[in-house]
A and B are shown apart, each in its own frame.
Chain A
Amino acid sequence: MARIMVVDDAAFMRITIKNMLKKSAHEVVAEAENGKVAVERYKQFLPDIVTMDITMPEMDGLKALKEIMAINPKAKVIMVSAMGQEAMVREAILSGAKGFIVKPFKEEGIIAAIDKLA
Chain B
Amino acid sequence: MNVDESMLDAYIYETQQLLEALENTLLAGESGHRLDADQINEIFRVVHTIKGASAMMEFEELATLSHKLEDMFALIRDGKDPGAAWPALFDTMFAAVSFYNAEMAKLLDKQPPNGDSLPLRERIEELVRLISGDNGEAGPQPDEKSAPEGEAESAAPEAVAGEGKEKAEEPETEDAYYKAVVFFEKESQMENLRAFGIVQELEKMDVRFAFKPADLNAKDAAEEIAQNGFVLYVRTGGSIDEIKSVLDETLFVRSVELTPLSEDCGEIPDELRAKDEAPAAAAPAAAGAGEAAAQEDSGGNGNGGESAPQPSGAADGNGATAGQQASGAAGGNGSAAQSGGMASFETIAKQNFISVSVNKLDSLLNIVGEIVTAQSMVINNADFGDRPHESFDMAAQQLHSLINELQDIVMSIRMIPMSTLFQKMRRLVRDMSRRFGKQIQLEIIGEETEVDKNVIDYLSDPLLHIIRNSVDHGIEKPEVRRALGKPETGKIVLEAKMTGSDVVVTISDDGAGLNKEKILQKARDKGLLTKPESEMTDREIYNLIFLPGFSTKDEVTEYSGRGVGMDVVRKNIAYIGGAVTVDSAPGKGTTHTIRIPLTLTIVDGMKFNVGKMNFIVPTVNVLSAIKPSPDDVFRDPEGNEMMMILGKVYPLIRLSEFFNIHDAVTEIADGMVMHLSSDERDFCIFFDQLDGEYQVVVKKLPGYLEKCSSSLKGIGGCAILGDGSINLIVDVNGLAAEC
Contacts and interface: CB of A to CB of B under 8 A. Distances in A.
Interface of A: 9-13, 15-16, 19, 33, 36-37, 40-41, 43-44, 55-57, 66-67, 69-71, 73, 78, 81-84, 86-87, 89-90, 93-96, 98-107, 109, 112-113, 116-117
A40 B347 contact: yes
Interface stretch (B51-59, B114-122, B270-278, B552-560): B51-59
B45 A71 contact: no
B321 A94 contact: yes
B693 interface: no
Interface residues of B, number: 62
Nearest to B333: A71
Nearest to B197: A93
A104 B252 contact: no
A41 B344 contact: yes
A100 B249 CA distance: 13
Interface string B141-166: 00001100110110000000000000
A55 B45 contact: yes
A40 to B, nearest CB: 4
B145 A12 contact: no
Give the most central of A37, A81, A83: most B CB within 10 Å: A83
Given A87-B152, A89-B190, A93-B200, A103 B332 contact: no
Contacts of A100: 190, 193-194, 197, 251
A37 to B, nearest CB: 5
A56 B175 CA distance: 47
Interface in B174-206: 185, 187-190, 193-194, 196-197, 200
Contact of A83 (B58, B189, B355): B189
B56 A78 contact: no
Contacts of B152: 87
Nearest to B160: A90
A8 B387 CA distance: 64
Nearest to A72: B329
B252 A112 contact: yes
B325 A69 contact: yes
A109 B185 contact: yes
A89 to B, nearest CB: 5
Interface of B: 1-2, 4, 6-7, 10-11, 14-15, 42, 44-45, 48-49, 51-53, 55-56, 58, 63, 67, 70-71, 74, 145-146, 149-150, 152-153, 185, 187-190, 193-194, 196-197, 200, 249-252, 317, 321, 324-325, 328-329, 331-333, 336, 340, 343-344, 347-348, 351, 355
Contact of A11 (B10, B67, B187, B252): B10
A86 B189 contact: no
A84 B75 CA distance: 12
B344 A44 contact: yes
Given A11-B10, A71-B329, A55 B49 contact: yes
Given A73-B329, A112-B185, A9 B49 contact: yes
A9 B328 contact: no
Contact of B45 (A13, A57, A84): A57
Given A40-B343, A71-B329, A93-B196, A104 B190 contact: no
Contacts of B4: 19
Given A40-B344, A67-B332, A93-B193, 8 more contacts: A12-B15, A15-B10, A37-B347, A41-B348, A43-B336, A84-B71, A102-B190, A105-B56
A90 B150 CA distance: 11
Contact of A99 (B49, B70, B74, B252): B252
Give the most central of B4, B49, B51, B71: most A CB within 10 Å: B49
Contacts of A9: 45, 49
A95 B322 CA distance: 9
Contacts of A98: 251
A95 B4 CA distance: 36
Contact of B52 (A10, A94, A109): A10
A71 B336 CA distance: 9
B156 to A, nearest CB: 8
Contacts of B149: 84, 86-87
A10 B49 contact: yes
B678 to A, nearest CB: 45
A87 B252 contact: no
Contact of A13 (B56, B194, B333): B56
A94 B188 contact: no
Contacts of A106: 1, 187
Contacts of B321: 94-96
B252 A43 contact: no
